[in-house]
């Protein structure tokens, strides 16, 4: 480790994230990891970091960090103003931060989650093979607080990084492909038509565990209860109020409400950046 970052402003909800804890669901350990994995990966590539280098994932209000040594940082994901000691700096491109300077990633202008990647990565101790914070289980480092100190890894130039790269815009309308099952038969044919024809909206109660929706409830054909069964990333679970919930990276590994379908993982980056009130459509695919 060759340096540290001190948290000057932690923001509303800032966590350390990498590619997560894969392959441990049978032990009751969720995946975790960056919700917008492509954004994390692009920020790391711009710095020449390893693809799984840990970054900071901010929520809506950003964060501010003081570097104890000169370093290079990329702020990407949801667009936001970036400053270094109060002077405007580039968003979505490598920025040099002198020793003692404060990098500030401000509140988002669109989307939800920005990513702060640092040359060498955030080098907190891994837990079960990952440095990710898991809000559901409590594994990994705690939510960032003002005054926290984060160790940095050694910068390693694996490739010659680019100066800039195209970043996808947060969705104005979120469209999620849906593969029906495994419990689609617990719902009426009308419910399935509603799910794929109605426009829902992203609820303000969404979080890293699940994207909650507002819209027409789905009518069940069976009023019984399921024994708890395994849940996967992207599962669309329907609780008693009938409004679907799309499970994201900190989702529980088991659940008893029926799953009407599953959204493929590749489509979930858009869900990570869909702000409250964003129109949402499910399509069969």
The pLDDT of residue 2 is 77
Best CATH choice for the domain 174-284 from the list 2.40.100.10, 1.10.3720.10, 3.20.20.70, 3.30.300.180: 2.40.100.10
What is d(CA 86, CA 113) in angstroms, rounded to the nearest whole number?
22
What is the rounded average pLDDT of the residues 78-89? 98
The mean per-residue pLDDT over the stretch 44-67 comes to 96
**Do 121 and 49 meet the contact criterion of CB atoms below 8 Å apart?**
yes
Work out the average pLDDT over 141-166. 84
* pLDDT value at residue 223: 81
Sign of the dihedral through C-alpha 219, 222, 225, 228: negative
Among 210, 254, 260, which residue's Cα sits nearest to residue 228? 254
What does R_g of the chain's alpha carbons equal in angstroms? Answer: 20
Tens digit of each residue's pLDDT (9 = 90 or more) over 230-261: 999 999 999 999 999 999 999 999 999 999 99
For residue 165, the model assigns a pLDDT of: 79
Where are the domains positioned within the chain?
Answer: 3-152, 174-284
Q: Which tens digits make up the pLDDT trace of 18-54? A: 999 998 888 888 899 999 999 999 999 999 999 999 9
What average pLDDT does the segment 44-66 reach? 96
Q: Give CA separation, 31 vs 60, 133, 214, 245, 268, in Å.
A: 23, 10, 26, 17, 14
């Amino acid at each position: 480790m060759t340096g540290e970052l001190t948290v000057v402003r932690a923001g509303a909800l800032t966590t350390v994230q990498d590619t997560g804890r894969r392959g441990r669901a049978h032990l009751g350990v969720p995946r975790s990891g960056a919700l917008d994995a492509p954004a994390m990966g692009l920020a790391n590539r711009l710095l020449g970091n390893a693809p799984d280098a840990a970054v900071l994932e901010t929520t809506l209000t950003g964060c501010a960090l003081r570097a104890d040594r000169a370093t290079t940082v990329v702020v990407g994901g949801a667009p936001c103003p970036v400053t270094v000691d109060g002077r405007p700096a580039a968003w979505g491109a490598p920025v040099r931060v002198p020793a003692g300077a404060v990098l500030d990633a401000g509140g988002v202008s669109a989307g939800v989650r920005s990513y702060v990647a640092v040359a060498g990565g955030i080098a907190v101790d891994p837990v079960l093979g990952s440095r990710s914070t898991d809000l559901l289980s409590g594994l990994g480092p705690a939510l960032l607080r003002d005054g926290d100190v984060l160790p940095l890894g050694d910068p390693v130039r694996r490739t010659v990084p680019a100066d800039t790269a195209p970043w996808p815009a947060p969705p104005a309308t979120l469209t999620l492909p849906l593969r029906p099952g495994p419990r689609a038969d617990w719902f009426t044919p009308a419910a399935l038509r509603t799910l794929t024809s109605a426009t829902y909206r992203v609820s303000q109660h969404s979080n890293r565990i699940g994207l909650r929706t507002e819209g027409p409830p789905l009518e069940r054909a069976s009023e019984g209860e399921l024994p708890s069964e395994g849940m996967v990333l992207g599962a669309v679970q329907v609780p008693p109020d009938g409004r679907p919930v799309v499970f994201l990276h900190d989702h529980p590994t088991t659940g008893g409400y029926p799953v009407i379908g599953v959204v493929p993982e590749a489509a979930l980056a858009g869900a990570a950046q869909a702000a409250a009130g964003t129109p949402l459509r499910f399509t069969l695919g």
